[in-house]
Amino acid sequence: MKRAVFILFLFGPAWAASQDMKLSGELAPLMERARIEGTASTVLVGEVAARMREQGIEQPVRVSVQRLHWLKDPGCARLKVSFDQHQVIPPHETIPRDRHAEFTLNWCEGGRPPASSEGARPAQPEGRP
């Protein structure tokens, strides 16, 4: 349960941006770069990092995105998104611990979802660059 809340807390702004088909938010440009180049990573900044500081969590969040494979829908890929923090003392706790969360999602050019997820399977490796 805590992992799901952590993921929603971090990923919410980028997901909302992708629903509007805009590349705003801190994570959307990172996912777009990973879709194209295969991998991308950064330390999270901006609105999400500010919200975490408001909650008393000062440690930086390292975000890594990896393209797992291209999908059959042109310009779409399956991505794995990972979040890592070291020595975090969550609100209402006293012992620091490392936190890790990851999930996968389909991401298409510009942040749009695939046209159809029905029967979605990886494209052949030589099918797209």
Backbone phi, psi, residue 108, to 5°: -115, 165
Q: How confident is the model at residue 127 (pLDDT cuts 50, 70, 90)?
A: very low
**Phi, psi at residue 39, to the nearest 5°?**
-150, 155
- pLDDT attached to residue 3: 52
Q: What is the mean pLDDT of the chain?
A: 77
Q: 3-state DSSP call for residue 24?
A: coil
Q: Is the pLDDT of residue 128 over 70?
A: no
Query: Which of the 8 DSSP states describes residue 119?
Result: T
Place of tokens 């829908």: 73
- As a whole-number percent, the residues of the chain with pLDDT over 70 amount to 70
Question: With a threshold of 0.75, does the pTM exceed it?
Answer: no
Domain assignments of the chain as residue spans, ordered by start = 2-113+121-127
DSSP letters along 50-88, please? HHHHHTT--S--EEEEEEEEEBSSTTEEEEEEEEEEEEE
pLDDT for res 25: 46
pLDDT tens-digit series, residues 28-83: 899 999 999 999 999 988 887 888 778 777 888 899 999 999 998 999 999 999 99
